[in-house]
């Protein structure tokens, strides 16, 4: 089962290495990892997406909580949450196909953030299946480069 672990940690060097080391020591491959400063500059939020057995992952979650630099750990996969991936993709733009690519970007509510004579860079965010769909649609034009964040997620607010 896919698990989305959210960890609030102190924003200092070495914390990321200790946390990823804990996952690898337990035999978990991290599908994606995103880290960034929170609304408090002394704290960072890590979103870790892993696929694994519920009981084993619960043990990892408990061990994460014992690391001194970890403030809070939550497995938000079973709770109501919002999840997004982010991608930059550089695509070839043959002059006669430029309008087709622009239409695809518009349909997916993406943004064209850079245009050159031979290529363009598209910014897109959304669920992973949406990211995969646009990749498949622009692939025939020629993909030069892709940079992706993997998943980031946040629990929904109380209703």
Q: Please state the domain extents for the chain.
A: 2-79, 82-155
- Which CATH number describes the domain made up of 2-79? 3.30.70.260
CA atoms within 13 A on the CB side of 151: 24
Same topology between domain 2-79 and domain 82-155: yes
Quickly count: other Cβ atoms within 10 Å of residue 143's Cβ. Answer: 14
Task: Say yes or no to pLDDT of 99 above 80.
Answer: yes
The tokens for 73 are 């750990």
Q: What is the pLDDT of residues 40-98, one digit of tens each?
A: 999 999 999 988 888 878 888 888 888 889 999 998 988 899 999 999 999 999 889 99
pTM over 0.75: yes
Which superfamily is assigned to 82-155 in CATH? ACT-like. Chain A, domain 2 (3.30.70.1150)
Dist CA 127 CA 114 (whole Å): 23
What is the chain's mean pLDDT, rounded? Answer: 91
| Cβ atoms of 150 and 84 closer than 8 Å | no
Dist CA 103 CA 90 (whole Å): 16
Task: Say yes or no to pLDDT of 23 above 90.
Answer: no
Q: What is the percentage of the chain residues whose pLDDT exceeds 90?
A: 65
């Amino acid at each position: 089962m896919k698990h989305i672990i959210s960890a609030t940690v102190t924003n200092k060097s070495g914390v990321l290495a200790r946390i990823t080391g804990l996952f690898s020591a337990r035999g978990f491959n991290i599908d994606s990892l995103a880290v960034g400063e929170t609304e408090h500059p002394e704290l960072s939020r890590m979103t870790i997406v892993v696929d694994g057995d519920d009981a084993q992952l619960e043990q990892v979650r408990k061990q994460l909580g014992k690391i001194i630099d970890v403030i809070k750990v939550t497995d938000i996969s079973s709770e109501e949450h919002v999840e997004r991936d982010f991608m930059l993709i550089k695509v070839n733009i043959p002059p006669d196909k430029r309008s087709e690519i622009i239409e695809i970007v518009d349909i997916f509510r993406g943004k064209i953030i850079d245009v050159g004579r031979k290529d363009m860079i598209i910014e897109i965010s959304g669920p992973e299946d949406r990211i995969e769909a646009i990749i498949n649609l622009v692939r025939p034009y020629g993909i030069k480069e892709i940079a992706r964040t993997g998943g980031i997620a946040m629990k929904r607010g109380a209703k």
